[in-house]
Structure 1
């Protein structure tokens, strides 16, 4: 190799980088701009939504790690004009490349361990082939020969698959037909989509969705059915890819498609091109550059580290003596730049493992000791309980961990079934919160047990002789500026003093923000939507606030309202008999309510047959107004008044009969309630004047009301307590679940909706004897 330094060897070269918006690509771009000033860079970046590639690159360069480079250049625009060109396009349909390129470094690719099989092939195989075709076009256009562009392919050490022992720096031995497997992989989505529309699968998902959502409406159930079908497609594509990969000796679809991508590169190189293949192992935070602990997003180890620190990872399936091969990202990109500066001969690809396990092994047992040591010194806190109790791992083996997890999953399903049947209450919601928290923990454990099982059992040692030889060929100055000798990493220092503090810092900051929010009480109108208490904000008249009544504004229900009202209208002698008859009908009413709330309301309101509507209204005005108002939640009343003060249109939508809403008229600009049908004598017929507004019909009515009054539903608010009101809450931009039932509570949490607990007045001020006067 030449004695010239890296910067000198790359002086004046034009290098194209892909994947610069990813972890390794961003670090590589920083290193090249910072340490190799004579290189001109182009970056291949795809637009994202309405944001073009150039704007995405400008945003990238405004990140803190580029601050010094940008300052030296005089600004982002000046840096881009002088050194960073942008090629807009996608690897799936790669655009023409600049004809004066000297090298291409391909960092982009699907890096998830469980991609849908078609996406893995499209990115890691087809994308590579497309890029190489564009490189050939650029070389031909340059007139400098087909070997004039050095292609550096970033792969992974785990293309070794399910082998064991020492893995050499060379081609992976397998006889997989790349063309046949790629054609198969790309057609799987069509096949799976077809199967997802089979009557059996759709019937199963539809019945499940209707059991859960029928009270909200059939369209809500239909949307849930379609969401379930799409999720099934994604899960099935992941499963198919993983099974095909393992059947051929690879750990998963990621390593399988990356290995086939290497075959594409090798076939291209054999035609006289220059290519180097760099295979990092598990890439984690920086040791030194751009600063110790620098990392973008969570990689392979971070979710496990954080879960352990939270006390949520009771055991792990690895053996204590198995090597976990970790390499800092700055070592990876330094090695890439060194490889870039030392192109191989045509048709003789170079292979470089950037790994640590062969010369500086870190075992899972030692990794555990260092992470545990860190959290013992710097624990997460568990609210008022103090420091989180850290699990003690005994490394019992994968089968033992699987048995414990499977038992926990069965217990969770049983508890979930029971909680789904209990009546709503604060206690029920708290139990659901804890159960869902445990469920998320179990889902996390299952996912990572399934994904990482192959890696925790991989007894691999990646030879790195070529990489070490390249490093030792560098000058002392270059060895310092482009350090990638992983033998120097002190694992205790790296894990306890650099890596763990870096990956836990954002979580600690988030926890602190949550504590502050928790101490500040429920969100107020002012925090949700601008506007002062003294004067409505501009455009406030376009905002609506839609409230449900029973269970939201006041603690009552349809049957209770009926007893307040109807029994007072009956002669005293008939009240107890009527009350007994109503009590006997309760089981049937509850069954109707579980099926369709509209059926329940129609059944309940048949009991008004024969009642005089004018008398019902007079009873409310003379006897029940005070009682209804006494059951209003003070917090709910404050919220309605805040909306009115802000200039919003307040609307009550309820399935309660109109007479019972009369005490609430001063609070609302409009009340939409159940109208009792009457005969020519003003007597109730036992029917409603029109279909009750429940479930999806509420949302439809809201849309019509908003159009009539010029309301912007995207800026409006909705308040409801029941899963049957899901369409109401979905219709507005600011949904608020008020003391929700279990299904709505779960949905609100998943959607990150506001959940409030508007306490009802104490029972001492809200009792009423349904068979007589006030109790």
Structure 2
């Protein structure tokens, strides 16, 4: 690639340049906090060198006695070189947060596999194919975090006024497809203030109880049947959701699925710190989490299937070989039509209204939908 091809397409106005620089500065601060990366090059891009004990070299250091660059020097020198040449392709703070969220979600998912339901050795296994299901309004009727909040309110952790606020924020997001920064900040702060200092085991226990009381009866049988078909084909089945990973893993466990990718809250010594790892898992973060789990599990994404109700999940849907819209919003229904994706609507009294090809062809399996749903839902 030529140097010219990497130049910006247009000259930034002073205001645009200032905003861009502020965003990159925020990204670097976040990267330093998460990865302990030291962005300490001077304004001219000169690299800071250290001796073998980690002390920085000063201007009066006797280079004749210097024993060469440390590994950290080489790392920072390469990082500085890449940063200077990447220019406008540097990750923004939002992109970095979603990358961190995706990586944290995949890492938590892999760690949870120690509790995976034992595989039936008599069943043939398809090791390179998997299915990824969004949760809210795809698998669960409604927003799982709102249902979880209802359970917390019934235990006096939250007020029902808080639930109304959660529901309103969810409704606005689903209608507009865009997050209001103030809404997100308020919702995130409320949730993080609730868990800060609590034992991680407490959230898991609450998730188990609240699933039984508020979520189990909200599972869409049609979506459960699709998940069961993948299981019957010997494939892994993962949930991918913005819901806290502890609740997502509870849902996955109760339904006999492989595991769950969800939002990860930071914890130290078994207690929540009140901070997220990266950010809430959504949009590009979901795609990154799926890609990461595919690498770790040896999956072929071209042989994988993803399901969602929302156009916000198009990055994840576009990542796999087969995308399926479930109870699609208006934008996703149109995208599915244009791209030839299969679509189901379980919100009607009719059987799944199909806008695309037969699911038996997509999955490479056959079987009664009602029977498949029954097998999965019996695990609740």
**TM-score scaled by length of structure 1:** 0.26
Structure 2 Cα separation of the partners of residues 658 and 759 of structure 1? 26
Q: Which residue is 1:711 aligned to?
A: 299
Give the secondary structure class of the aligned counterpart of 2:260. strand
Q: Cα–Cα, structure 1 residues 669 and 740, in superposed 2: closer, same or farther, change >3 Å?
A: same
Q: Is the contact made by 2:302 and 2:321 (CA closer than 8 Å) also made in structure 1?
A: yes
Please give the residue correspondences for 1:137-286 in structure 2 after superposition, counting only pairs within 5 Å: none
Deviation at 1:558, TM superposition (A): 5.0
Q: Does structure 1 residue 670 correspond to structure 2 residue 251?
A: no
User: In 1, Cα distance between the equivalents of 2:347 and 2:169?
Assistant: 30
Q: 1:668 and 1:601 mapped to 2: Cα distance?
A: 30
CA, structure 1 residues 681+712, in 2 after alignment: closer, same or farther (shift >3 Å)?
A: closer
Q: CA deviation at 1:620?
A: 2.8
> Secondary structure of 1:616's match?
helix
Q: Deviations over 1:468-499 (max 9, x none)?
A: xxxxxxxxxxxxxxxxxxxxxxxxxxxxxxxx
Counterpart residue number, 2:334: 746
**Using the alignment, how far apart are the partners of 2:201 and 2:268 within structure 1?**
12
Q: Give 1:542's aligned residue.
A: 128
- C-alpha displacement at 1:553, in angstroms? 0.6
Query: Residues of 2 paired with 1:722 and 1:753: CA distance?
Result: 13
**CA separation of 1:726/1:660 partners in 2, compared to 1, >3 Å: closer, same or farther?**
same
How far the C-alpha of 1:557 sits from its partner, in A, is 1.0
- Aligned-residue offset at 1:643: 0.7
Shift of residue 738 of structure 1? 0.3
Aligned residue in 2 for 1:580: 161
Q: Which residue of structure 1 aligns with residue 190 of structure 2?
A: 607
> CA-to-partner distance for each residue in 1:714-760, whole Å, 9 max, x for gaps?
11111111000001111111110001000000000011100012349
**CA deviation string 1:240-278 (max 9, x = no partner):** xxxxxxxxxxxxxxxxxxxxxxxxxxxxxxxxxxxxxxx
8 Å contact kept, 2:201–2:270? no
Q: Give the unaligned 5+ runs of structure 2.
A: 1-7, 12-121, 350-380
The size of the alignment, in residue pairs, is: 226
Q: 1:634 aligns with which of 202, 206, 221?
A: 221
Give 2:247's match in structure 1, choosing from 650, 660, 674: 660
Query: How is 1:457-606 mapped onto 2 (pairs within 5 angstroms)?
Result: 536=124, 540-557=126-143, 559-570=145-156, 578-583=159-164, 594=176, 596-597=178-179, 603-606=186-189
SS of residue in 2 equivalent to 1:610: helix
- Asked whether the equivalents of residues 657 and 676 of structure 1 are also in contact (C-alpha less than 8 Å), the reply is yes
Which of 651, 660, 668 is the aligned partner of 2:238? 651
Question: 3-state SS of the aligned residue for 1:555?
Answer: coil
Deviation at 1:678, TM superposition (A): 4.9
Structure 2 counterpart of 1:324: none
Ranked by relative contact order (alpha carbons within 8 Å, sequence separation 6 or more), the top structure is 2
The alignment partner of 2:209 has SS state of helix
Q: Give the match's secondary structure for 2:139.
A: coil
1:597-647 superposed Cα distances (whole Å, 9 cap, x missing partner):
595655423222134444333233234325322111112112112111211
Query: Does the Cα contact within 8 Å between 1:640 and 1:667 map onto a contact in 2?
Result: no
Q: Does the CA contact (< 8 Å) of 2:252 and 2:258 recur in 1?
A: no
Unaligned stretches of 5+ residues in structure 1: 1-196, 201-533, 762-775
Question: Partner of 2:280 in structure 1?
Answer: 692
* Contact 2:135-2:239 within 8 A present in 1 as well: yes
Q: CA deviation digits over 1:173-202, x for unaligned, max 9? A: xxxxxxxxxxxxxxxxxxxxxxxx9979xx
Question: 1: CA distance between counterparts of 2:180 and 2:267?
Answer: 19
- What are the equivalent positions in structure 2 for 1:735-774 lying under 5 Å apart? 735-759=323-347
Distance 1:585 1:626 in 2: 19
CA–CA distance in 2 between the matches of 1:598 and 1:669? 33
In structure 2, how many angstroms separate the alpha carbons of the residues matched to 1:553 and 1:626? 17
Give the deviation of 1:583 after TM superposition: 3.3
Contact in 1 for aligned 2:145/2:243 (Cα 8 Å):
no
Note the alpha carbon deviations across 1:324-375, whole angstroms, 9 max, x for none.
xxxxxxxxxxxxxxxxxxxxxxxxxxxxxxxxxxxxxxxxxxxxxxxxxxxx
SS of 2:324's partner is strand
**Structure 2 counterpart SS, 1:627:** helix
Question: Quick check: 2:265–2:272 contact (8 Å CA) kept in 1?
Answer: no
Q: Which is higher, the Rg of structure 1 or of structure 2?
A: 1
